[in-house]
Amino acid sequence: MPEQGREQWASRLGFILAAMGSAVGLGNVWRFSYVTGENGGAAFLLIYLACIILIGIPIVMAEFTIGRKAQSDAVGSFEKLAPGKPWKAAGLMGVAAAFMILSFYGVIAGWIVYYFINYLTGNLWTAPAEGYEGFFVDFITNPWHPLLWQFIFMALTIAIVYVGVKKGIERANKILMPLLGILLVVLSIYSLTLGGASEGLAFLFTPDWSALGDPSIYIAALGQAFFSLSLGMGALITYGGYLSQKEHLPGAAYSVAGLDTLFAIVAGVMIFPAVFAFGIEPDAGPGLVFMIMPDVFDSIGFGGGLFGLAFFFLLAAAALTSAVSLLEVAVAYFIRKFSWSRKKAAFIIGGIIFLIGIPSSLGNGILGNVTIIGDRGILDSMDYVASNIFLPLGGLIIAVFMGWGWKKADALRDSDFGDTVLGNLWLFLLRFLAPIAIFLIFLSSIGLFG
């Protein structure tokens, strides 16, 4: 029985759309492009794809199965299915990860909203005096402008969670996500005409095998796979918990993972040819999309600004549906655990997350000299810890919980796999390959095999 007063998705499509809306976001465009750029391109992409198929999809399935079975939030699901056992640590880490990830997600999404407004006013239709790169740097180093836009984006996120995820997002996902997909395809075709096509495609698709010797690209690929799939922190458990009727879970998992990966690859084909055409370094970091895309729109000539307007609008919408799923993980937990109303939880938790994000927001301006992990600034350090450590660790626990903590027959039945080859392969991946691979990648990232 679902808990009292819990929402349910309106339709079968509602769940898939919501899960896709969670998965497709800044991770596919902003994060995928800059992390791929920093990690040398094609070799990284290959490991990323392996992580998606061998580790990501099996854990997506585990989260869906746990969520639908338990009909509760990220922590409550474990408490319900395994009372008194320590598995719920994964859920608590997930809630912590939601706070961390949304804190900086709101900052980057704020940048996107700012760019949208600048295309709306026409300000960026032609290059400003200081150039597009200069414009970006001026903005992110300003003492308070990034904060304002982070605030606006977080207010929107809170407003949607406040009225309830179901009403808030099912409709937006149905219309805006396909539009974003179409726009990315159109822009990637255009980008291939800009003169950097061969270099850009080679960067993305022709692996430099020697890069595989660098342990840091494995953890980066693993973290990107988890981040992009919204995996390892109970977001998909939480959404699965709003599932009422019979849903074929494996089909849903393949669709979500497939679509999410497609978005990332198309975004890569859009960005990297342009990176080479306009002579920007692929490893320019988190500002990559902001520095490159305005050049692309500018080069379209008359009307190019409209593409910029649509691009930043649709990307902001995609970011919003992802941010909603992040906030929902924490909100659903607080509603149940402390019997808060949805409104109170959305407001308070969202507010706290905004505050936690302030240092990330100021990390290019007045806090610009602060580095935490290696030479990473505040935002990048948050991202690194949450995405590369918390998410995979949460995923590892979820994999072991499903693979070893459930009776095999129950797992096969509750996942809708049944006793099939795929079902058994799934359990094998959860039991052995995923946990061992995550563990080894952790070890290698702390230099154990170096």
Q: Which residues bind to ligand PHE, rule: CB under 6 A?
A: 22-23, 25-28, 101, 227-228, 230, 233, 235, 322, 325-326
Minimum Å gap between C-beta 386 and ligand PHE is: 9
Closest to ligand PHE by CB, 111 vs 135, is 111
Closest to ligand PHE by CB, 60 vs 309, is 60
Closest to ligand PHE by CB, 228 vs 364, is 228
Closest to ligand PHE by CB, 77 vs 325, is 325
Q: Are 71 and 81 in contact (CB under 8 A)?
A: no
- The Cα 373–Cα 379 span in angstroms is 10
Closest to ligand PHE by CB, 157 vs 228, is 228
Task: Please report, for residues 108, 156, 166, 178, 399, the alpha-carbon distance to residue 120 in angstroms, rounded to integers and kept in the order given.
Answer: 19, 18, 29, 21, 45
C-alpha angle 292-298-303 in degrees, rounded to nearest 5: 135
Minimum Å gap between C-beta 172 and ligand PHE is: 15
Closest to ligand PHE by CB, 65 vs 322, is 322
Minimum Å gap between C-beta 227 and ligand PHE is: 5
Closest to ligand PHE by CB, 107 vs 124, is 107
Burial 395-434 (b: 16+ CB within 10 A, else e): bbbbbbbbbeebeeeebbebbbbeeeeebeebbebbbebb
Minimum Å gap between C-beta 257 and ligand PHE is: 11
Minimum Å gap between C-beta 325 and ligand PHE is: 5
Closest to ligand PHE by CB, 95 vs 187, is 95
- Classified as helix, coil or strand, 194 is coil
- The Cα 27–Cα 407 span in angstroms is 35
Residue with tokens 């799939």, as numbered in its chain: 229
Instruction: Report which residue's Cβ sits closest to ligand PHE.
Output: 27
Minimum Å gap between C-beta 160 and ligand PHE is: 14
Closest to ligand PHE by CB, 56 vs 403, is 56
Minimum Å gap between C-beta 84 and ligand PHE is: 28
- The Cα 312–Cα 147 span in angstroms is 18
Minimum Å gap between C-beta 242 and ligand PHE is: 15
DSSP string, 17-37: HHHHHHHSSHIIIIIHHHHHH
Q: Are 295 and 126 in contact (CB under 8 A)?
A: no
Minimum Å gap between C-beta 98 and ligand PHE is: 7
